[in-house]
Amino acid sequence: MKQFTVWVLAAAATAGAADGPPAASVLQDANLRQLRTVHRVFVDRLTGGETAAQMRDILISSLAGADMFILTENQERADCILRGASEDLVFTEVHQSSDGINAHANLGTGTRSSGYGSGSSSRNNSAGIGVGENESDHSAERRHEAIAAVRLVNKDGDVIWSTTQESLGAKFHGASADVAEKITARLKEDFEKARKLP
């Protein structure tokens, strides 16, 4: 009877696992296999601020240089559409601090006496000390930051690949160009993984 109970529990666990969602690695492999079928891509307009159109052009240039697939301006001919959002911000970061020390001390005594018909006497002592120091620091640094979140969508509307990249700029090019290069590098890396799948 114990063997039968163990067998029923094992069968129930296996059946329950089959009904659950597929493992993340299975989904990732399925999406990578779909990447292998992509030959022509349309880069859609990116949502975001005024710089989104500029980011789209930089991204197209970066993807064209990678020679992974044909880029098209005709959406109907594309196997996939690259969609997403981007923002490129230039701002000033301000830091301000202030420190101060002050100390004051005063001491005073005074005596005055005067009587009718006699002389008057007066004595007065006073002392004072003061110390003060204040220090203030103000710095402003101009910063440049870009971010983009993009995804490849197939003709069925399924997202088969996505990434989010950001940059504060690189040594030899700006933040937007660096983000475009990071997106291209990530896509190229995933294309290589897709080619190695059985």
Over residues 87-137, the pLDDT tens digits come to: 988 777 788 888 878 887 777 777 776 666 566 677 777 777 878 888 888
Q: Which of 76-85, 92-101, 106-115, 152-161 has the lowest mean pLDDT?
A: 106-115
Number of structural domains, the chain? 2
Report strand pairing: 120-154 vs 159-167: antiparallel
Say whether both 106 and 37 belong to one domain.
no
Domain of residue 102: give its range: 98-138
Split at pLDDT 50, 70, 90, the class of 158 is: very high
Pair 50, 82 in one domain: yes
Strand partners, 143: 91
pTM of this structure: 0.64
130 and 89 inside one domain: no
Q: Buried b vs exposed e over 117-145: b needs ≥16 C-beta within 10 Å?
A: eeeeeeeeeeeeeeeeeeeeeeeeeeeeb
Check whether residue 58 and residue 110 sit in a common domain: no
Q: Which residue has the higher pLDDT, 77 or 15?
A: 77
Q: How confident is the model at residue 138 (pLDDT cuts 50, 70, 90)?
A: confident
In the chain, the largest separation of any two C-alpha atoms, in whole Å, equals 130
